[in-house]
Amino acid sequence: MTGSENGFMLRSIGVIHTPHPTREGAPIQPTGARGVRGQVVIDPDLRDGLDDLDGFSHIVLIYRLHLSRGYDLRVKPFLDTVKRGLFATRAPRRPNPIGISVVRLISIENNVLVVEDVDMVDGTPLLDIKPYMPDFDIPEGKTSTGWYERSQGDPQRMKADGRFL
Amino acid sequence: MTGSENGFMLRSIGVIHTPHPTREGAPIQPTGARGVRGQVVIDPDLRDGLDDLDGFSHIVLIYRLHLSRGYDLRVKPFLDTVKRGLFATRAPRRPNPIGISVVRLISIENNVLVVEDVDMVDGTPLLDIKPYMPDFDIPEGKTSTGWYERSQGDPQRMKADGRFL
């Protein structure tokens, strides 16, 4: 990692392979990709960092939304019919195009993870893996989800169209 | 964002202000920072992207772990007594030092968000904000958390020491 005043470099540490060749037609979230299997191939020199991960049922994949270019500050989400502030959506075109997805970990062999519920495009560059820990990742108390609560879209059926290409 | 074969640039889109001046003594996760209040100051030119975010009770902050340098592939987590594979931990020194925290959103005024449960160090560079959506962010079914399930550490009381500086 190198840093400057306001920018810094990340590097791909692996590749996520999925059955979704293009953004168009891909599920919009893991909830629309239940049971869809993919492989995460980690750079072999990072292999030792995967020790003990096999005890976790779920992992958080952090990845580069590598097909996204530029962004608009107000966008119409897949699940809504009116424009919303970009940071109130999960739209892929963002100032820093980083995606996060919680996926089910099936198995690990050497530097290859088999995972389920993959919603990302085949060939997505991996940036980080974190163990999913409900104690840390689920907030206490009641949650509210603004426009999404009132939307009619069904994330389990919705597929991406070309709006964010 | 600029890209090359294997690296790409991110930029800070704001700053997270918290009562934790240094990593040492800071809570290790939001669960150890319940009710601790902070401010997220977004770059003014991104202000319109915050529209509609105020309907959400919780947001995911994605940030640069800017004090972290280098990494080891096997580390002793704050909550355990033996070394674990880096990707099976939330340790801050990682190939790509990116942190994620779910925090409670209290209010938004112009380009300033007041949030609670902040575990990051004061001055942390913000990379992205996503709305926290249980439908997307909580997996279905039972979860298991490997070494963490069997550890004796209490993340609500544990504070960071110098091991990852």
Instruction: List, for residues A11-42, the tens digit of each pLDDT value.
Output: 999 999 999 998 887 887 777 778 899 999 99
Cα-only R_g, chain A: 16
Question: Taking CB atoms and an 8 Å cutoff, what residues of chain A touch B35?
Answer: none
Give the pLDDT of residue B2.
46
- pLDDT of residue A54 exceeding 80, the answer is yes
The whole-angstrom separation of Cα B16 and Cα A36 is 36
How confident is residue B152, by pLDDT bands cut at 50, 70 and 90?
Answer: low
Query: B148: nearest CA in chain A?
Result: A133
Nearest to B102 among A89, A137, A144 (CB): A137
Strand, coil or helix: B102: strand
Does the ipTM surpass 0.95? no
Nearest to B57 among A127, A138, A142 (CB): A142
Cα B104 to chain centroid, rounded = 13
Nearest to A98 among B12, B52, B128 (CB): B128
Mutation target vs B (from A132, A136, A156; most B CBs, 10 A cutoff): A136
Query: Nearest C-alpha of chain B: how many angstroms from A144?
Result: 5
Give the pLDDT of residue A140.
87
B10 and A6 in contact by Cβ < 8 A? no
Single-letter code of the amino acid located at B144:
S
Give the pLDDT of residue B1.
41
The whole-angstrom separation of Cα B95 and Cα A39 is 20
- Of the listed ranges A108-122, A145-159, B25-39, B77-91, the one predicted with least confidence: A145-159
Give the pLDDT of residue A3.
47
Question: Taking CB atoms and an 8 Å cutoff, what residues of chain A touch B95?
Answer: 1, 11, 13, 46, 128
- In this structure, the dihedral spanned by the alpha carbons of residues A56, A119, B53 and A143, taken in order and rounded to 10 degrees, is -40
Domain boundaries, chain A: 14-72+100-133
Report whether CATH 2.130.10.10 matches the domain B9-109+127-134: no
CA nearest A70: which of A93, A89, A92? A93
Give the pLDDT of residue A155.
73
Q: Are B128 and A94 in contact (CB under 8 A)?
A: yes
- pLDDT of residue B13 exceeding 50, the answer is yes
A131 and B148 in contact by Cβ < 8 A? yes
The 10s digit of each residue's pLDDT in A75-93 is 998 888 899 999 999 999 9
**Superfamily name with CATH number, domain A14-72+100-133:** YaeB-like (2.40.30.70)
B56 and A88 in contact by Cβ < 8 A? yes
The whole-angstrom separation of Cα B22 and Cα B20 is 6
What is the average pLDDT score of chain B? 90
The whole-angstrom separation of Cα A120 and Cα A31 is 12
CA nearest A53: which of A12, A100, A10, A112? A112
Q: Are A26 and A164 in contact (CB under 8 A)?
A: no
Q: For the whole model, what pTM was predicted? A: 0.91
Mutation target vs A (from B130, B140, B142, B154; most A CBs, 10 A cutoff): B130
Question: Higher-confidence residue: A7 or B121?
Answer: B121
The 10s digit of each residue's pLDDT in B55-76 is 999 999 999 999 999 999 999 9
- Look up residue A66 and give its DSSP letter: T
How confident is residue B3, by pLDDT bands cut at 50, 70 and 90?
Answer: very low
Query: B135: nearest CA in chain A?
Result: A31
The residue to which tokens 């940036």 are assigned? A127
A145 and B55 in contact by Cβ < 8 A? yes
Nearest to A139 among B53, B58, B135 (CB): B58
How confident is residue B92, by pLDDT bands cut at 50, 70 and 90?
Answer: very high
- Read off the pLDDT of each residue in A134-147 and give the average, rounded to a whole number: 91
Query: Nearest C-alpha of chain A: how many angstroms from B39?
Result: 16
CB atoms within 10 A of CB B140: 11
B13 and A73 in contact by Cβ < 8 A? no
Question: Taking CB atoms and an 8 Å cutoff, what residues of chain B touch A40?
Answer: none
How confident is residue A165, by pLDDT bands cut at 50, 70 and 90?
Answer: low
Percent of chain B with pLDDT over 70: 93
- pLDDT of residue A98 exceeding 70, the answer is yes
Question: Taking CB atoms and an 8 Å cutoff, what residues of chain B touch A48?
Answer: 73-74, 85-86
A29 and B85 in contact by Cβ < 8 A? no
Tell me the CA end-to-end span of chain A in Å, nearest whole number: 29
- pLDDT of residue A61 exceeding 90, the answer is yes
- Read off the pLDDT of each residue in A119-127 and give the average, rounded to a whole number: 96
Give the pLDDT of residue A1.
41
